[in-house]
Structure 1
Amino acid sequence: MAARTKVEALGWLRTPRPGYGGMCLGFCRDAYAIPSKYNWAITAWNNNRRKRTTPWTQAPVGAFLFFAPHGSVYGHVAVNLGGGLMESTNSQRQYTGTYRIQGWVNVGYKYLGWSDELNDVLIPTIAGGTSSSG
């Protein structure tokens, strides 16, 4: 199966989903139908060939936002929704949801940057390829 486009992934994200507590990388992979490769979000970031370290305010909607480990070795990744919001997992709630990026930074998550690639799979519609509306 080919990876989803940004528009398809954003549609998939509209439904809160249970069972992703502690599985942010799996959640982002599933949103875009990307195969598994790395075990942890920080490993996916460290091996990413298309890292952008500009502020999240400059990240396109649909981009993968990466954060340094906070209280663990795993790191965190979420999908940018624009307007300072991201779709993410929440280990305490055990459901996915929409969160303010600044709120996560305020509690100690260090924003690393964004990418239009995850697990070596480029999603051209994130940063301006064909069908980039959304």
Structure 2
Amino acid sequence: MSTRPILPISRISTIMKSSSDVETVSRESSVLMSKATELFIKNLTQEGYNRTNKGKKLDYKHLAQVVHNDEKYNFLRDILPKKITVLEYKKILASRDAPERAEREAEELSSTEDDEEASTSDTSASSSGEFQSKN
């Protein structure tokens, strides 16, 4: 293992400075952050490789499995989501929309019933002579 960082220190420093909480960044902290990032990437990829059953190719799906099955990578779940098919995506959307759709239909049904009750009471009131014309 090399002690010299592989990731560009200037790029790491620029990323660190982009935070509104950071005023200055020392070279030592940039080097340390670069090395920590390298070790993080190495660990994540090693765990992903272990999921390949010692295959020759590390794929996105292997990294996504690691992220979604290990609690320590929770913060990456939005960045590295599991791949799903279009059909699976449509099923997810349908299951999310079902409660909302049922609620909307119930509201429409109750407003329709209210309208029918109002028109029924108007009809019975006018037929009994309760409403008089202003003419």
With normalisation by structure 1, the TM-score equals 0.19
The structure carrying a bigger strand percent of its residues is 1
Higher alpha-carbon Rg: 2
Q: Bigger relative contact order, structure 1 or 2, given CA contacts below 8 A and separation 6+?
A: 1
With normalisation by structure 2, the TM-score equals 0.19
The structure carrying a bigger helix percent of its residues is 2
